[in-house]
Amino acid sequence: MADAKIDFISLMQEFVAISAPSGGALRNQERGVLKAVQGQLTRLSLKDIPGDSVESYRQWLDCQTEKVLNALTVRVKPWGAIRKALNLFMRACICDHYLRSTFRLERIEALAEIPLDSVVATALKRKAGRGMLPVWPGLKWLNAEQNHRFQTFAEAYANQLGLPARVYLDNYLWLRNR
């Protein structure tokens, strides 16, 4: 019996959905969060992502965050952890040649958020100066307003460094703070 043809693009999305938000990125979350997030990312539609403005992309990302949160069957709904997973996934999709070209993800590269965690937040707070960014509440307790403030500063900092987009500031900060 011959194997069926593989939908290569779906295969690539599933691979990115499982590998981008790894267990290390979502450590300290309740049991089942990682698997549920990976499943949701595998099914997320990449074809109609708005790329016309930061606000429309953020609204889309907010909607996706809520969809993933609603799919979780855990006590505490970890907004920050889910947003980090989505941002890791989107960065990996943007960087994947096949997904980028199939879904024209170059349109959203400049709109994509930096994946936040304690290392990134500490580095951003240090760069911003005392009192300029909110107290880091921890990934599980991060909310949309706090995220927005960190994202706004990250955009300016990435521009200052000459990076093509703030989503890549995570790469720079990770290498400098590991």
pLDDT at 73 exceeding the cut of 80? yes
| pLDDT band per the 50, 70, 90 thresholds, residue 1 | low
What SS3 state is found at 108?
coil
Q: How confident is the model at residue 23, as a pLDDT? A: 67
pLDDT at 34 exceeding the cut of 80? yes
pTM (two decimals): 0.93
Q: pLDDT over 70 for what percent of the chain?
A: 98
What SS3 state is found at 172?
helix
**SS3 per-residue string spanning 43-84:** HCCCCCCCCCCHHHHHHHHHHHHHHHHHHCCCCCCCHHHHHH
Mean pLDDT of the chain: 92
For 77-120, the pLDDT digits (tens) are 899 999 999 999 999 999 999 999 999 999 999 999 999 999 99
Higher pLDDT, 177 or 160: 160
One-letter identity of residue 104: R
- Which among 153, 95, 93 has a CA at the least distance from the CA of 123? 153
For 145-173, the pLDDT digits (tens) are 999 999 999 999 999 999 999 999 999 99
Q: Which DSSP string do the residues of 127-163 spell out, in sequence order?
A: HH-TTSSPPP--GGG--HHHHHHHHHHHHHHHHHHT-
Give the pair of three-digit tokens for residue 119: 């290392």
Q: What is the pLDDT averaged over residues 4-33?
A: 88
Residue listed under structure tokens 């709904």: 77
Alpha-carbon separation of residue 161 from 66, 91, 149, 157, 166 (angstroms): 32, 18, 19, 6, 10
Q: How confident is the model at residue 31, as a pLDDT? A: 82
Q: What is the pLDDT averaged over residues 135-152?
A: 95
Q: What is the pLDDT averaged over residues 21-32?
A: 79
